[in-house]
A and B are shown apart, each in its own frame.
Chain A
């Protein structure tokens, strides 16, 4: 398939791995920030192919994982209302709130729908004028343009039965939080290619200088990820720290001006709580005053949710690379893919679930 198969060619992959092996002289820890890259790494087994000592730390770039518990509880409360059609991306459906998840809300009569595009939720609002249609607008900078467009469209159409529950988060403040942590282990970053497609690369130069850390803008196919790793390791071994774009076929330095315009129209920067990590200043977007009418938090009375996070789950430390999943006492005990306590155990590419699966083979081989 054009533009896909070329980027998973096993011969080129082998050559790149050989090059990496020749380059590396000592252990290094690299964080891929984006959940999409974690997915590629786990799906293709890239972490097992790297030379010993090169460790990939799966970062906080899974939007589902970092959406704060109080927001999920608000979503669950809204979704349970009989007058609401609640629309969400598919991977949010099983993420546990304090006491339930969207799947179970649906099983108890809630009208919960999986949509692929936020504009589908706008269409649903048009088709169901007697219902309130709420879209769960989560994600990093990548999903923001489409989410913003849905709000603009709803306003354009004069819809009064459409609103969004916004929990947008931003990559650069998360990188700062990780690097400011005294116990962090990260020596280089793969920056999320699709975030930079929207935002451009200008935010990352200052981070490179401030933390003296290599940041390589990286794509999502197996060879893209290997190339990102190869370039970070090249810098580390050479004692350099630079901003490098290894995904130039998609990412331009200035980003996508049309997307940036709609984002700036619809959203304003705000402090944001990250699940398991805590509140990070200026790390999110909320609706600007101009679009406040479309804010589901205003439309529905959900300000007073009382959250109860599992006291056992240490997913925040996992997402910052401070501990490995199996170092969490709940790992594979109280917390399994079957009964996840935290979001990283929910999907197969979540850091905790990935470790869990890998252990099944390891333990049967060594048993």
Chain B
């Protein structure tokens, strides 16, 4: 395919050449997404005062402004179906951005909402989505302070697309990030993984299956506040959304230039989610979450942090799943249930059900 296109004049380096047009995987949170950002957007957006902030590729951008330390993040929501067990596109759009801001240790303060509406959308449905966003914001304790509305012709959108952006304030002395991670640190996950992805899949056309699994979509800023207040030395946090726990651990390993080993048996997975993954041929570590976080913590503070997390209703099942090691830099290795090991790789795209 690539020989039909003249890519010689393109500034984009080699890795994108075999994929001359956008495929779904570019938005799936896997390796293709990462390459698009790294090789297309980051170079294109270079050359401004704070451009190096983008290159760090955190969940939120962190920078100083007028004496304050800010966390700033944006995300767009195109989920289908728009209403799913445990949530909807509106609450998801608020929670997602609140969580991205909170992962930097910031207190989220305000968010913006941009909606792109397709002609013909029922006002009643938009009303439900707006109310859901309002409820989510009130529960999370953030204010929706600015917004935008656009309408596109029938067939040029998918009902509703939502973009949210959020800002938060990082308390003095807090400096979380990949640069803090070191060998010997401990990896904690806040609860059972995979519920959101399976909940969505269970109601998607072509895959629908009967299930009581509901999305874990939730605002994590309250949990983060409790964790920060515990005094534990938290090195960094990420919320494992698209791409799942596996993609997040790989991002941490690469960004921190360390290795990570995980004990498969320690990864908390709800029984129904495990069963659904079993028959769909999916790995729970590649399934999306919308209300979980991964924390890297200094070994001496593990118990302190776990106590603080388990006291919060969103992290009762918080648990240690692995450690940071000096070997195999950038690679995540899983010790399997029966004592073997394998590399936990970043899926290239969203996981798909397997035939065998």
Contact = CB atoms under 8 A, between A and B. Distances in A.
Contacts of A223: 338
A47 B343 CA distance: 14
Given A103-B25, A115-B206, A124-B206, A39 B356 contact: yes
Contact of A142 (B206, B330, B356): B356
B356 A45 contact: no
A45 B340 contact: yes
B66 interface: no
B343 A360 contact: yes
Contact of B207 (A8, A14, A116): A116
Given A100-B1, A103-B23, A114 B206 contact: yes
Nearest to B341: A45
6 tightest CB-CB pairs across the interface, nearest first? A45-B340, A90-B352, A13-B338, A89-B355, A357-B343, A107-B23
Interface stretch (A91-99, A234-242, A250-258, A308-316): A91-99
Nearest to A93: B352
13 contacts: A1-B274, A4-B275, A8-B337, A10-B337, A43-B342, A44-B340, A45-B338, A48-B341, A91-B281, A91-B354, A143-B355, A348-B345, A361-B331
Contacts of A154: none
Interface residues of A, number: 62
A347 interface: yes
A9 B337 CA distance: 8
B337 to A, nearest CB: 5
Nearest to A46: B340
Contacts of B339: 10, 13-14, 45, 49
A147 to B, nearest CB: 11
A48 B340 contact: yes
A107 B338 contact: no
Nearest to A89: B355
Nearest to B25: A103
A306 interface: no
A353 to B, nearest CB: 9
B206 A364 contact: no
Contact of B342 (A42, A90, A94): A42
B229 interface: no
Contact of B31 (A116, A120, A124, A338): A338
A365 B327 contact: yes
B353 A106 contact: no
B333 interface: yes
A142 B355 CA distance: 10
A108 B21 CA distance: 8
A332 B236 CA distance: 33
Given A43-B342, A45-B341, A103-B25, A91 B355 contact: yes
A214 interface: no
A215 interface: no
B interface: dominant SS: loop
B124 interface: no
Contacts of B356: 34-36, 39, 61-64, 91, 139-140, 142
A91 B205 CA distance: 18
A87 interface: yes
B353 A89 contact: yes
Nearest to A108: B21
Contacts of B259: 364
A104 interface: yes
Nearest to A4: B278
A339 interface: yes
A222 B24 CA distance: 33
Interface in A238-288: none
A138 interface: yes
B11 to A, nearest CB: 20
Contact of B355 (A10, A90, A107): A90
Given A1-B271, A114-B206, A115-B206, A92 B23 contact: no
Contacts of B280: 116
B345 A104 contact: no
A116 B206 contact: yes
B336 A107 contact: no
Contact of A10 (B330, B338, B345): B338
A61 B259 CA distance: 34
Nearest to A357: B343
Given A107-B24, A115-B206, A360-B331, A49 B338 contact: yes
Contacts of B21: 104, 107-108
Given A8-B337, A338-B15, 5 more contacts: A39-B354, A47-B340, A90-B353, A114-B207, A364-B330
